[in-house]
Amino acid sequence: MAGYGALSEVYEWLIGDGKLTPAQAASAYCTDVVGPLPPGTRVLDCSCGTGQLAVGLAGLGLDVVAADASEGMVRRTEGLAGEQGVPLRTLRASWDQLPDRLEDSTFDLVFCVGNSLGHAEGAAGRLAALEAMARLLKPGGRLVLTSRNWELVRSAGSRVDVRDRLIRRNDRDAVVSYYWQIEQHWEQEHFLEIVVARIEPDREVRAVSERLSIWPYRYEDLVAQLRSVGLTARSTTFDPEADNHVVVAGRDQAR
């Protein structure tokens, strides 16, 4: 499930222009999704990637824990926090390991963004991940989750998607491509291979690639699993015709 060993070194080419800096990443959520947060709000980013969101939140004065199953991602998050001069705690842990490493009912807000939940192993793995997130939330706390529209992904079938423009990061260009291996049944393990082909200063092209496991899910199944772990969807941007959506779920007070 961890993955993102090779891709952690080139992940900035996979981040959209609007969330590339810590300030942009934090603004995308603290302005449009959850609103402004008071200093000291306790936040867990449990799929922190290279740290743009976690570091941006810490820069706002929030008490942030950044966790990821990938050692490379955690290392890059620590480096970004150092560059920005902001304090945060990092933790290498998969979702199911979080309750053993963190205290229950201590976070006001948990982020699980970057379409990461699709890497949880099937319905059972996804349920375990959501249960761990729910346990860590305070009563009345909120989970912010982003997801692909897996119905659309599956309907397009196996394919190669090549981005139609060069992406520039750190004064270097790259071509990014995605190979989707879509299986017949929802519950089967699907695969996504991502290739970042960088154009080096000497004009050589050097590619970094990684094959990732995916277990897709229907939107209604996600909502049902959230409900089963004591989380209620408070708002959602789900649209059957849109590629991605954001769900904000609240933890029931009585849980």
- The pLDDT score that the predictor gives to residue 164 is 86
**Cα separation, 155 vs 160, whole angstroms:** 14
Cα 169 versus chain centre, distance: 20
**Cα separation, 145 vs 11, whole angstroms:** 20
Q: Which amino acid is at 114?
A: G
- The pLDDT score that the predictor gives to residue 26 is 96
- The pLDDT score that the predictor gives to residue 254 is 59
**Cα separation, 63 vs 39, whole angstroms:** 8
CA proximity to 53, closest of 136, 110, 128: 110
Question: Consecutive sets of 10 residues in the chain, 255 residues long: mean pLDDT of each?
Answer: 85 95 95 89 97 97 97 97 97 96 97 96 97 96 97 97 93 96 98 96 94 98 97 97 97 71
pTM of the model: 0.95
Q: Two tokens at 109?
A: 């807000």
Concatenated DSSP letters for 7-69? GGGSGGGGS-GGGSSHHHHHHHHHTTTS----TT-EEEETT-TTSHHHHHHHHTT-EEEEEES
**Cα separation, 198 vs 155, whole angstroms:** 30
CA proximity to 113, closest of 91, 134, 144, 81: 144
DSSP conformation class of 198: E
- The pLDDT score that the predictor gives to residue 220 is 97
- The pLDDT score that the predictor gives to residue 2 is 60
Which ranges in 93-218 belong to alpha helices (H)?
A: 98-101, 122-136, 150-155
The tally of CA atoms less than 13 A away on the side-chain side of residue 156 is: 12
The answer to whether residues 41 and 62 touch, using CB atoms and an 8 Å cutoff, is: yes
CA proximity to 48, closest of 18, 17, 13, 15: 15
